[in-house]
Structure formats: structure tokens, C-alpha cells
Structure 1
Amino acid sequence: MSTPDTATKGLEPKHGFASSLSPDEFKSLFRGHPGGVAVITADTGDGPVALTATSVSSVSAEPPLLIFSISAMSSASAVLSRAETVVVHLLDAHDLDVAKLGATGGADRFAQTHTWSRLVTGEPVYRDVRAWVRCAVIDRMDAGTSTVIAAHALQSHIERDAHPGASGDALVYHNRTWHRLGEHSRIDD
């Protein structure tokens, strides 16, 4: 057990550590850790934005909370950093085009008007994706070059449900490549 003096020994001011992984080392570490794929949309009045994220995680079922992070380098970060509500689209392999669109820099993510619409509350939502959840942003935390956003789930729609125990067609991002999880990737105990 550490005391307050030994717990901070070796720390530089403002929570900086004496040693740290380089950005390349850190990226290499997480390249081997797959993440589910989501697209996050919002509009604060200047037009809709979207970005693809693998950082979405559920935090609590009661109340229903989730978190995700956005890089300050994303073209959508300015809007997402002030949006009061967002729509998180939870994608499967059938939604690969939407995932790629949200990940492509400089793309007009809303040019194809037949692929999206607005909820009655105004948020942009992609049609026919596996599932989406409309959320109220409840907190933001700066974390390095990113912002972690906590959100309360308000409304959802499931187009294609993955039934308990079924493999579904989950879309994951692993080692800079898109992958489909299915029966072929299942490992039994």
C-alpha cells in the first residue's frame, strides 16, 4: 500500500509521469485490441457532422449511460464538443459503408440525402443501420488530445437485433482493418 508521498514519487508536475509510452508504442499496443464500430452524429445549428469511433462503451444500465472519445483533430470535434445531444449508431458488417464514410477525412458525410434523415428532435440519423441511440450529453472531460464524452441514453431504435447467444454480424476494427464477427469466429468454451 502506498502513502500519499510514495504514491506521487516520480511524478512530474500536473500529473505528468517521468516516463511514458510513445504515441507509436501506444498505437501499436491497441492495434491488437479490437473495438466495436460506431458512428456518432450531431448538429448544433451549423449543419450535421459525423465521425466513426471505436471508443463507445456502455457504463451503466441504470441510469443508461455510455461514453466515447473524440480526437481534437477530428473535423467533427468542434460540434461534438458543444452539442447537447448526439446520436450514436452501433454498426454491424452490413453498415460498413457508413463506417467508412465517417472515417474518411474531407468527405461530405451527408451528401447522399437518401441515406439519412433527422429525428423530430433535430439530430441527424443514418437510416437502416443496425441500431442507434439518441443521447443527452451529461459531461465532458479533456484527456490528452481527446475529449471523453459521457451521455445518457434517451431514445433508441434497433433495426437488426443480435439475439442472446447468436453470433450476429458484428463489425469490429482490428489492426487497421474492418472485420466481421460471425459463427466462423466463435470460440466455444
Structure 2
Amino acid sequence: MSVGHEAQPSPSVSDLFRNAFRRHPAGLAIISAAGPDGPAGILSSSVASVSLDPPALSFTISTLTSSAQIVRSADTVVVHLLDAGDLKLARTFATPGSVRFGDDMAWDYLPTGEPFLLETKAQIRCRQLGHLDVGNSSIVAAEVLGVTQDESTALPLVYSNRAFHIFHEFPIR
């Protein structure tokens, strides 16, 4: 080794993995649940369709926050799929310590007890089927019990390269 040049450590597999997914865009959703002290919610970039018969989806949550623990332990949750008009909600639920389900936010409880955000265009009520814990995360499988959606032409809101983006559709034919 020459003088003045220190060898750079090789990046870890975790660092390489994080960098690989950095530019992989993901749709966003807020997952809400009723907790013992009121409503709780988290922002998720990992909601995925699993099955159409029966309708089911999955999502991954961190096990490190109290909001995530409430969502993980709830029997039922509401998955709110976000679009470009929901950027303020996404920022609120992405910010640790932010006031969620506050007086300045349009929300209510479903007759079944789950909190839901009134301004999102698609809400999916689910019953959790099971969890698979992996490191500091938990993969949740959930059966779809009902879907409420408004007709919307809003563009999807996605997360990529550590920032929110509005997905503009340019179909490839």
C-alpha cells in the first residue's frame, strides 16, 4: 500500500441491498388500526396483492415503533392506497412523532371500529391472517374483507431514492 492511501472498506451486503432498492419505486399506503389509546397508523411502501381468490394482500412493517406494534397486534386494519393528492398525509405518517389522526385531518371510525382516512381514494379493510418476523420487520398477510374506492384520475404517489414522487404514466406499446 502506498503512503497516504488508505484502503476503503468494502460495502456490506446490507449497504449494497439498501442501494439496490433505493431507485426501485414503490407505491405508498397508510395502514391504520384501532389501538388501546386511540387510532394508530403507519406509512408503508410494501403493500402487495397476494391473491384474488380469496382476496388477500401483504405488507411489511418495522417492529421498532409503537405505531407499528399497534398495527401488528390488531385483528383488523385499513389499508389506504395513496395517490398524488395524498402527499401531505404521506409526509405526516412518515415523520416520527407527528400528530396522526389529529383535528386537522379528515378521519373517522368505521362501524367496525377501525380508523379510516376520509380523503384517500381507496380503503381496503382487512383481517390479519399471520405474521412472519424477519430481523426488525414483520411481513403481514391479510384477508380482504371489503373495499371502498372513489373514481379517481389522480396519478399514483410513489417512493424512490429517498423521496416522494408522482408517477407519470407513459405507456410502452
TM-score (norm 1): 0.81
Match of 2:69 in 1: 78
Aligned to 1:23, what secondary structure does the other structure show?
A: helix
1:50-87 deviations in Å (ceiling 9; x for gaps)? 11000000000110000001011233122122100000
Asked whether the 8 Å contact 1:95–1:130 carries over to 2, the reply is no
**How many equivalent pairs are there?**
163
Q: Which of 3, 13, 26 in structure 2 is aligned with 1:22?
A: 13
* Aligned partners of 1:101 and 1:109 also within 8 Å: yes
Structure 1 contact 42–50 (Cα < 8 Å) conserved: yes
Q: Alignment partner of 1:25: what SS?
A: helix
Describe the superposition over 1:10-60 as per-residue Cα deviations: whole angstroms up to 9, x where unpaired: xxxxxxxxxx95332221111110000000000133211111000000000
The answer for the alignment partner of 1:41 in structure 2 is 32
Q: Distance in 1 between matches of 2:151 and 2:86?
A: 11
Query: Once the 2 structures are TM-superposed, how far is the Cα of residue 116 of structure 1 from its aligned partner?
Result: 0.5
The match for 2:172 is 188
Q: Alpha-carbon deviations, 1:112-150, whole Å to 9, x = none?
A: 255110000010000121211010001111111100110
In 1, Cα distance between the equivalents of 2:19 and 2:84?
Answer: 24
Aligned to 1:102: 93
Distance 1:114 1:177, change over 3 A: closer
**How well do the aligned residues superpose, as a CA RMSD in angstroms?**
1.7
Tell me if the contact between 1:128 and 1:159 (Cα under 8 Å) persists in the aligned partners: no
Partner of 2:41: 50
Could you tell me the TM-score, scaled by structure 2's length?
A: 0.88
- 2:115 aligns with 124
Residue segments in structure 2 that go unaligned for 5+ positions in a row: 1-10
- The AA in structure 1 aligned to 2:112 is T
CA distance in 2, matches of 1:99, 1:58: 20
Return the structure number with greater relative CO, CA threshold 8 A, min gap 6: 2
In structure 2, what is the Cα distance between the partners aligned to 1:39 and 1:147? 16
- SS of 1:76's equivalent? helix
